[in-house]
Amino acid sequence: MGLEIKKIGVFTSGGDSPGMNAAIRSVVRTCAYLKIECVGIYRGYQGMIEGDFKPLDARSVNNIINKGGTILKSARCEEFRTAEGRKKAHEQLVKEGIDAFVVIGGNGSFGGALVFNEEFNFPVMGIPGTIDNDILGSTYTIGFDTAINTVVEAIDKIRDTASSHNRLFFVEVMGRDVGHIALNAGVGAGAEEILIPEQNLGLERLLDSLKRSKKSGKSSSIVIVAEGDRIGKNVFELKEYVEEHLPIYDVRVSVLGHMQRGGNPTCFDRVLASRMGVKAVESLLEGKSNYMVGIRDNNLILTPISEAIKAHTDIDKELIRVSDIMTT
Ligand code: ATP
């Protein structure tokens, strides 16, 4: 193990996700275990620029593994996109004696870390924390499992009221660029149709499917719509369109919104975050830098950040097929 890293900074950046606290805890406890110092950087890159730091020991992360959100707060920071802002951040890290950092966040946060590493040759390691599950190099990101369980729970409740009134519900879920939440939660909750950014099913198919569903005697219908769906209409416009073309339906809309980011992390996310935190710190101490920790086939792997941020992960074609079959 390289000996030059004595103090590691850890922070959360971009949109928060359940399980970020478990990842922070893991980084802090791994540092304590390996007898190196750990410093919490508050509010992401903004706090780095402002020197908003606090030493964290093993006990300072008691009782956070089960909490949603992030104790270190998260932020978006325009100043860090400028060379001047990054210079300030570097000066603060040097002043504090921080030798390397672990960033827990999404693509944008990793992009910032990559530029920072290139400019200052500063060791960085990424942990994917986002509910969208859209990062190359990891089958799962921290927070995704919790988010889909939250969505399934909400849809189960919506279904209760939908079937009592023979209603059709359009439920909008997060996913501007990727449909992982919509597809997984949709299959898990037994949705009739799932509209995702990766494919445009077209309005005709939607109407046909709803007609079929009514004919077959279903007492309620749930259509999941990802925010970035390509059908060309938002959930409210879809409601109007269907009411106009299929007046047999009593249509309602539910936009789940930010509740999808909150809540106590599932056991899966807690375990994933704990494993990734250990791997991130150990990898830095082994002299590795500019990687993101990921998981594939239940093994932890490292992917160069430059690769991880290149594109979004592909949608699971097999799951789309399963969804099609289930809605027969
Ligand atoms: P989410 O998945 O929720 O969008 P994210 O990590 O992708 O999370 P972003 O808002 O894209 O969130 O990025 C977080 C922060 O990272 C930005 O506010 C900015 O400070 C920094 N950042 C992003 N891209 C760059 C870049 N190209 N150069 C420097 N800093 C960047």
Query: Cα–Cα distances in Å, from 51 out to 9, 42, 43, 80, 93?
Result: 11, 9, 10, 13, 8
More confident of the two residues 193 and 164: 193
Nearest CA to ligand 1 atom 19: 77
What number does the ligand 1 atom closest to the CA of 106 have?
Answer: 6
Q: Confidence band (pLDDT; 50, 70, 90) for 182?
A: very high
Residue 1 has what pLDDT? 43
Residues in contact with 282: Cβ distance below 8 Å, sequence separation at least 6, in sequence order: 30, 34
Residue 200 has what pLDDT? 85
* Residue among 99, 132, 134, 229 flagged as catalytic: 132
Taking the C-alpha atoms of residue 157 and residue 162, their distance in angstroms, rounded to an integer, is 9
Q: Confidence band (pLDDT; 50, 70, 90) for 214?
A: confident
Residue 38 has what pLDDT? 98
Position 62 pLDDT exceeds 50: yes
Nearest CA to ligand 1 atom 25: 112
Q: How far apart are the CA of 81 and the centre of ligand 1, in A?
A: 8
* Chain mean pLDDT for the chain: 95
Angle at 102 between CA 97 and CA 104, to 5 degrees: 140
**Mean pLDDT on 153-162:** 94
134 is an active site residue: no
**Mean pLDDT on 135-141:** 96
Residue 166 has what pLDDT? 79
Q: How far apart are the CA of 201 and the centre of ligand 1, in A?
A: 31
Taking the C-alpha atoms of residue 282 and residue 178, their distance in angstroms, rounded to an integer, is 31
Q: How far apart are the CA of 283 and the centre of ligand 1, in A?
A: 23
Q: Confidence band (pLDDT; 50, 70, 90) for 260?
A: very high
Q: Measuring from each residue's beta carbon to the nearest atom of ligand 1, which residues come in under 6 Å?
A: 13-15, 45, 76-77, 80-81, 105-109, 111-112, 115, 130, 132
Position 243 pLDDT exceeds 90: yes
Residue 16 has what pLDDT? 96
Q: Within 13 Å and on the Cβ side, how many CA atoms surround 186? A: 34
Taking alpha carbons only, the member of 244, 222, 241 closest to residue 233 is 241
Position 235 pLDDT exceeds 50: yes
Position 188 pLDDT exceeds 70: yes
Nearest CA to ligand 1 atom 13: 108
Q: Which residues pair with 102 in a beta bridge?
A: 10, 125
Contact 44, 76 (CB under 8 A): yes
Angle at 55 between CA 78 and CA 121, to 5 degrees: 50
**Mean pLDDT on 127-141:** 97
Position 3 pLDDT exceeds 60: no
What number does the ligand 1 atom closest to the CA of 132 have?
Answer: 2
Three-state SS string over 20-86 comes to HHHHHHHHHHHHHHCCCEEEEECCHHHHHHHCCEEECCHHHHCCCCCCCCCCCCCCCCCHHHCHHHH
Express as a percent the part of the chain with pLDDT over 70: 99
Question: Residues 10-48: pLDDT tens digits?
Answer: 999 999 999 999 999 999 999 999 999 999 999 999 999
Question: Residues 263-307: pLDDT tens digits?
Answer: 999 999 999 999 999 999 999 999 999 999 999 999 999 999 999
Express as a percent the part of the chain with pLDDT over 90: 86
Question: Residues 64-93: pLDDT tens digits?
Answer: 999 999 999 999 999 999 999 999 999 999
Residue type at position 279 = K
Q: pTM of the prediction?
A: 0.96
